[in-house]
Every structure is written in structure tokens, then in C-alpha cells.
Structure 1
């Protein structure tokens, strides 16, 4: 089904954060000879002809040199206001029915996970969002374009919390059992310690 309808799907990689806890841009950290953002690109590739990176302005040129997809920035007047503004900017700058969203700091995520999320999307819901070990993951999710007015209204009100937007829409939840995947695939790499744990004893400089 997804292959036949690929033009209705857009893939969005959110890379607009400042990576303060990590110390350097997480999108360009490497794991097994690939940048973090490349894992997200590969996971999205089978499901979306349109793929884009929503970049922090300081990284736009760097992405343009290394990514063979469209690189966009948050649109004013909501620039720099977190993932919600990233979702808004993606929907405003790319026409699609469904948007598959991934963060740039989850290198273990797979196309199989994306496949299960996308397969669960239908016209009865506004979004498909994983609940892994009881934790909601709104940045590894599928959103229908119909949420754009809700996203816009919330941004205009000055509320930038993804979780508050999710409470206003119809969500289909998927657990690790539903997704046939290990909970470890949903690990965000936010700190140097978390990054080091990816390497299972391998000696490395985590920030080179």
C-alpha cells in the first residue's frame, strides 16, 4: 500500500535543536561510519519520495554539503521554538497527506519501525505515535496534514509543547509489542555518556 501511495507521504528529520547537552551537533555525530542523521534518512527512504531536514540555521550549509535531500529551516514567526515549529515548517513548505517524523539523534531507528507506524495510519486518526516503556515519543511519529491548523493555533498562542498538541488530536498509540521492535531502538542520544554506550566497549572519541 505504501509503495503505491508514496507521493502522499513526506519524511521529516528534525534537526533544529542546539545540542547543548551533547556539546556538539548531534546530527553529525558518527556511529558505525555514518552520521546520525543518515540513519533517519535511510529509515524514511522506503516510505516517502519527499524527504527533508528541518535544520538549525547554523547547520544548514553543512547539511547541504552532505545530504541529498531538501534542507529547510523553521519559518518565522516561530523560528527556534522546538519540534512543534519544525513540524509546522515542514507542513507549510511541503505538500503531502502524511508526514513521517524522525529526530536526528536516534541512530538505532529502522525502516521496519517506520513501516509499522506508517501501516497503522488511516483516516480515522490524526497521528500514530509510539508509547515505549510507557514513554510517549512524539518525534518518532506519523502526522496527518489535518493537524496543521491545530499546530498553527498552538504556536500562535505561545505554547510550544508537542505533548499539549497531541492531547488535541486523535492518536493511535503503538507499543514496542505492536511495532515488533526492541525498546532500545528508541534511544535518544542526548549526552556524551549515552553516546559512548552505543559502542559496547569499543574505544572511541565520541565527539570526533
Structure 2
């Protein structure tokens, strides 16, 4: 599928990690670089949304596409909104920078299946019996007005967003559950080994 870009969010405060988690190494490689490499294998273009573009230039390719986060600290939903305003592909694969166990094979299968997704579906996101996993999900470009409306009325969570739009669930198998392990704390990182 050609009309898809990846947007990696690298603008969080990393307060629970105690240092910039994008630069924290997993098996000798910074987590942001791991996520970037998987995204690059799966999509046409990869964008990094961050307020600190210079901070990551030493770990990513020189031709990396940076989008400057204009208002950091507003959360990932606002990050998706900022990215969608600057990226024009039909689909965006949204990724957090703290997912060191991403698997190209799984994401590529999900991308191939997007061709079958009905036009009224605005997001395709992993879901278990309780929670959505929005930080490794697919969003149609024309979700933008819905996001803008939600943000303007004070909304800031993906759960609020998903209650107002049509979302298609991706099932979470044991392999997918492992892949979606995110590392917010040093303990999370230790569990990933």
C-alpha cells in the first residue's frame, strides 16, 4: 500500500523514565532509532514530531523528516493532530518512540489489510477486551476535522475520540501484546529484555 506515512511522537517529558526515553538504549540501540527503522521498512515516509529536532540528529539518518512540535506537553492526541496538519497521505501509522519490540511482519500485515477497510472507518487500532492501544494505530487523514472539534471542546484523550468516531479493532494476540509493550519506566525496560 503506497499512501501511508508513519508519524513517531518523541515529545514527551519522560518523567517516569528519568531521562529522555527516545534515547534510552534497548539491546544497544536507542528506542527511537528502533521504532524509526521498523517504520521505514513499512511506510513511504517517516516523520518525527518533536520539540527537540537537534537532540535526535546523531541517531537518525540525515534525511530524516522532522516536524517541530509547536505546543509540547499537550499529549499524543494533539501530537497526531499536529502531524495530520502537515502530512497529506491517506493513512498515518502513529507510533510512540518507546516501543522497542515492534515487528515489521505484524505491522506490514496490518498495512496490507487497510485496503479492505471501509471508507467510514477513521481509525484502525489494536484493542483487547478493555483498552485501545492508540500509540500503534492507523488513522485516516480525514479524521482531522474530528480531532480539531474534539480538541477545541477540551478533549484530549484517544478514548474520548474513539467514542465519537468509527474505529476498527485489531485483535491483540500474545505476539501483538508483546510487541505493544511500551517502556515508560526503567522497570518497563527491564521487562522487555
Structure 1 length as normaliser, TM-score? 0.83
In the alignment, is the contact (CA less than 8 A) between 2:94 and 2:137 conserved in 1?
A: yes
Please say if 1:162 is aligned against 2:158: yes
Between the aligned partners of 2:12 and 2:165, the Cα distance in structure 1 is 25
Query: Number of residue pairs matched?
Result: 188
Q: Which runs of 5+ in 2 are unaligned?
A: none
Residue of structure 1 equivalent to 2:81: 88
Residue of structure 1 equivalent to 2:132: 136
Please say if 1:126 is aligned against 2:119: no
Residue of structure 2 equivalent to 1:106: 99
CA RMSD of the aligned region, Å?
Answer: 1.8
Secondary structure at the counterpart of residue 167 of structure 1? helix
Residue of structure 1 equivalent to 2:5: 10
Please say if 1:186 is aligned against 2:180: yes
Between the aligned partners of 2:79 and 2:168, the Cα distance in structure 1 is 21
Distance 1:90 1:119, change over 3 A: same
Secondary structure at the counterpart of residue 101 of structure 2? coil
In the alignment, is the contact (CA less than 8 A) between 2:31 and 2:97 conserved in 1?
A: yes
Aligned-pair distance for 1:136? 1.2
Between the aligned partners of 2:151 and 2:38, the Cα distance in structure 1 is 29
Between the aligned partners of 2:95 and 2:129, the Cα distance in structure 1 is 18
Which 4+ residue blocks in structure 1 deviate beyond 3 angstroms?
none
Between the aligned partners of 1:133 and 1:73, the Cα distance in structure 2 is 35
Aligned-pair distance for 1:95? 1.3
